[in-house]
Amino acid sequence: MKEPPLIVQTDRTVLLETQHPDYEAARDRLARFAELEKSPEYVHFYKITPVSIWNAAALGEQAEDVLGWLVAQSRFPIVPVVLAQIREWFRRYGLLRLTALPDGRLQLHCDDKEALATLGKSTVLASMLTTDDDGVVTLDAEQRGECKQALVKLGYPVDDRAGYRSGDRLEFTLRLGAAGRTGFHLRDYQTAAASAFHAGGSDRGGCGVVVLPCGAGKTVVGIAAMHLLQTNTLVLTTNTVAVRQWCREVLDKTDLTAEQVGEYTGEQKQIRPITVATYQILTHRKGKLEAFTHLDLFDKGGFGLIVYDEVHLLPAPVFRATAGIQTRRRLGLTATLVREDGRADEVFSLIGPKRYELPWKQLERQGFLAAARCVEVRVGFGPERAQRYAQAGARAQIRIAADNERKDDVVATLLQHHQRDRVLVIGQYLEQLQHLATVFRLPLITGQTPNHERDRLYAAFRKGELPRLIVSKVGNFAIDLPDANVAIQVSGTFGSRQEEAQRLGRVLRPKADGGPASFYTLVSADSREQEFAKKRQLFLTEQGYAYEIVSAADLIAAGAARREVRA
């Protein structure tokens, strides 16, 4: 009889044996209520946290189902305190509820009087909550977001049923299969995601996060949610290119006119029924001590819905603004809820819980994403760079490893191997990218590239006129390059799983020929860059992707052998 695949530790860390025959099924089940923290070759480490349990509860998981599965799959008995803690976190989801009162104040309900009394002793909450002689607990409507944040940090999520402003009415229809169009149809999972957010228009819906892979059509989910609500909408996204893509998609997939869809960026300030803005414009201010110039955009335009594209990137000032606009419906879209700054609890409290999620590999099996081959190429140092690296401080070592000149030969080999493919070379450091652009005579897009030039280059890539393109981190987000099928990552942002998700997502759109995608990560061997790569690859493991590790020498030798055979 085989042993179960899990070991559950007293700190709620769960160890999963990767060689176990039930590994894949256990991984998929664990991902519903735990977060992957480390992924060594033979054992993966997951962590069960309050937010991971509350998000699971929001998706319909039940405490007894989760606990029963853990007990059945654990190799050793689980200490009772761990089971009790998980059960308590489940119990707390929905224990506190906010509702609106006729006088405009909000009432905080709690079926557990003892818990409510304990919370009332919090100095943070004391300034917000008022308890009358009948024990009714109320707060000002303006403190709705601040109170929810405080309660989550104290370990109590809030079921917010205080309602929303309707916003200005905006009637429109979707161009579903319209003649002369590209045959736009909502996929079943896109319909399900929008419906899960909308919840039939009740106060139980209207806020929350949809987690779908890059290339799975999160923009379409946003448009479907707009259509369900039929209200003026503000969309926030990462850059001007993404703004214009949203505008194009809205105009392509609805009967709204160009006069009803506006761009609010550094270049144009249009406030229209559908307004699409960048996070950067909202966080603009003339000086560090000055007020944020455009944060009042939330209060203009009669918006009944705010869509946060790439919600895991929400900057702190927008978090603060979001705390003050809890009366509007809020939809977050993302490929991963991982936040490197640890603010996942703020996304939960201010945007809402996870309402819908689909694993990447499931969409791949259904043909909605291309299959992907993920390869880490380890590149050795030359003698001079090895000496510089050994003598450098920790921060300098990161840059020395990233700039490794021996990566040039690997890039050359990969470009030769993929000469008939659509290739993106992606990196973090501008000098490195400018060097590669010069060596390989390829166009380069960075943050300094004017928007009209970015649009021109992206369009040429989409048409096949430019089969290869080098992009800085501005290419991480919201660029629509459906035919890209090879990504070569030459450097990255430390151990960012967010970035790994976005960069892999650049090449996952299904291809016309049904072919696979290739995702290469070039790292300097035995360096801090290799350590960071392990953290980034947590994302790949989380989503069920295997990744190969090859040496640069072997890759280059194989490329030379292929060329010799062709010759």
pLDDT the model gives residue 259: 97
With a pLDDT cut of 90, the percent of the chain lying above it is 57
**Which residues fall within 8 angstroms of residue 167, CB to CB, at 6 or more apart?**
229, 231, 232, 233, 302, 303, 304, 305, 328
- Domain assignment present for residue 196? The answer is yes
pLDDT the model gives residue 477: 63
Give the whole-angstrom CA distance, residue 94 versus residue 159: 5
End-to-end distance of the chain based on CA atoms, in angstroms?
55
3-state secondary structure 159-203: EECCCCCCCCECCCCECCCCCCCCCCCCCHHHHHHHHHHHHHHCC
- Closest by Cα among 350, 275, 353 to 316: 350
The CATH number of the domain holding residue 103 is 3.40.1170
**Which residues fall within 8 angstroms of residue 388, CB to CB, at 6 or more apart?**
400
The residue from 61, 92, 123 where one domain ends is 92
235/358: higher pLDDT: 235
Statement to judge: residues 119 and 230 lie in one domain: no
482/409: higher pLDDT: 409
Statement to judge: residues 243 and 116 lie in one domain: no
pLDDT digits (tens, 9 = 90+) for 168-206: 999 999 998 744 445 578 999 999 999 999 999 887 889
- Domain assignment present for residue 176? The answer is no
Strands of 284-414, DSSP E: 305-309, 329-334, 354-357, 372-379
Give the whole-angstrom CA distance, residue 190 versus residue 171: 21
pLDDT the model gives residue 179: 44
pLDDT the model gives residue 316: 82
Statement to judge: residues 525 and 399 lie in one domain: yes
Give the whole-angstrom CA distance, residue 168 versus residue 165: 9
Statement to judge: residues 410 and 278 lie in one domain: no
Do residues 256 and 246 lie in contact, with contact meaning Cβ atoms separated by under 8 Å? no
**Which residues fall within 8 angstroms of residue 36, CB to CB, at 6 or more apart?**
44, 45, 46, 538, 541, 542
**Which residues fall within 8 angstroms of residue 451, CB to CB, at 6 or more apart?**
240, 241, 244, 267
Q: Residue 235's beta-bridge partner residues?
A: 276, 307
Give the whole-angstrom CA distance, residue 409 versus residue 403: 13
The answer to whether residue 478 scores a pLDDT higher than 60 is no
Strands of 449-501, DSSP E: 468-471, 486-489
Statement to judge: residues 151 and 198 lie in one domain: no
pLDDT digits (tens, 9 = 90+) for 224-280: 999 999 999 999 998 888 899 999 999 999 999 999 999 999 889 999 999 999 998
User: What single DSSP character describes residue 350?
Assistant: I
Q: How far is CA 97 from CA 60, 83, 254, 372, in A?
A: 18, 25, 36, 43
Please compute the mean of the pLDDT values over residues 315-336 and round it to a whole number: 88
pLDDT digits (tens, 9 = 90+) for 100-124: 999 999 999 998 988 888 888 888 8
- Mean pLDDT of the chain, nearest integer: 89
- Domain assignment present for residue 528? The answer is yes
504/443: higher pLDDT: 443
- Domain assignment present for residue 170? The answer is no
Helices (H) and strands (E) in the chain, counts: 22, 23
Please calculate the CA angle 163-167-170 and round it to the nearest 5 degrees. 130
Give the whole-angstrom CA distance, residue 439 versus residue 428: 17
**Which residues fall within 8 angstroms of residue 17, CB to CB, at 6 or more apart?**
5, 6, 23, 42, 43
- Domain assignment present for residue 154? The answer is yes
pLDDT the model gives residue 479: 65
Which pair of structure tokens corresponds to residue 512? 């016309």
Confidence (pTM):
0.84
At 532, is the pLDDT very low, low, confident or very high (cuts 50, 70, 90)? confident
Structural domain that includes position 254:
188-358
- Domain assignment present for residue 178? The answer is no
Backbone angles phi, psi at 381, to 5 degrees: -85, 150
In the β-sheet with 233-237, what is the strand arrangement from edge to edge?
261-264, 274-278, 233-237, 305-309, 329-334, 207-211, 354-357
Please compute the mean of the pLDDT values over residues 493-512 and round it to a whole number: 73
pLDDT digits (tens, 9 = 90+) for 271-322: 999 999 999 898 887 777 677 778 788 888 999 999 999 888 888 888 888 8
Pairing of strands 130-131, 137-139: antiparallel
At 324, is the pLDDT very low, low, confident or very high (cuts 50, 70, 90)? confident
pLDDT the model gives residue 223: 97
The residue from 303, 331, 358 where one domain ends is 358
- Domain assignment present for residue 174? The answer is no
Give the whole-angstrom CA distance, residue 58 versus residue 61: 7
Give the whole-angstrom CA distance, residue 99 versus residue 160: 7
Please compute the mean of the pLDDT values over residues 364-371 and round it to a whole number: 86
Statement to judge: residues 279 and 130 lie in one domain: no
Statement to judge: residues 296 and 321 lie in one domain: yes
The CATH number of the domain holding residue 340 is 3.40.50.300
Helix (H) or strand (E) holding 551, with range, is: strand 547-551
Which pair of structure tokens corresponds to residue 434? 């400018």
Statement to judge: residues 83 and 108 lie in one domain: no
At 567, is the pLDDT very low, low, confident or very high (cuts 50, 70, 90)? low
Burial 191-212 (b: 16+ CB within 10 A, else e): ebbbbbbbeeeebebbbbbbbb
The answer to whether residue 82 scores a pLDDT higher than 80 is yes
The answer to whether residue 29 scores a pLDDT higher than 90 is yes
With a pLDDT cut of 70, the percent of the chain lying above it is 96
DSSP letter for each residue of 70-118: HHHHBSSPPPHHHHHHHHHHHHHTTTEEEEE-TTS-EEEEES-HHHHHH
pLDDT the model gives residue 180: 44
Give the whole-angstrom CA distance, residue 488 versus residue 81: 46
Please compute the mean of the pLDDT values over residues 57-75 and round it to a whole number: 95
**Residue 543 burial by Cβ neighbours in a 10 Å radius (0-12, 13-18, 19+):** buried
pLDDT the model gives residue 181: 47
Statement to judge: residues 119 and 131 lie in one domain: yes
Statement to judge: residues 322 and 344 lie in one domain: yes
User: Could you tell me the sign of the dihedral formed by the alpha carbons of 408, 413, 416, 420, in that order?
Assistant: negative
The answer to whether residue 402 scores a pLDDT higher than 80 is yes
Burial 299-333 (b: 16+ CB within 10 A, else e): eebbbbbbbbbbbbbbeeebbebbbbbbbbbbbbb
Q: Total structural domains in the chain?
A: 4
Statement to judge: residues 348 and 368 lie in one domain: no
546/70: higher pLDDT: 70
- Domain assignment present for residue 173? The answer is no
The answer to whether residue 327 scores a pLDDT higher than 70 is yes
474/371: higher pLDDT: 371
pLDDT the model gives residue 388: 94
The residue from 54, 77, 92 where one domain ends is 92
Q: Residue 317's beta-bridge partner residues?
A: none
Statement to judge: residues 141 and 217 lie in one domain: no
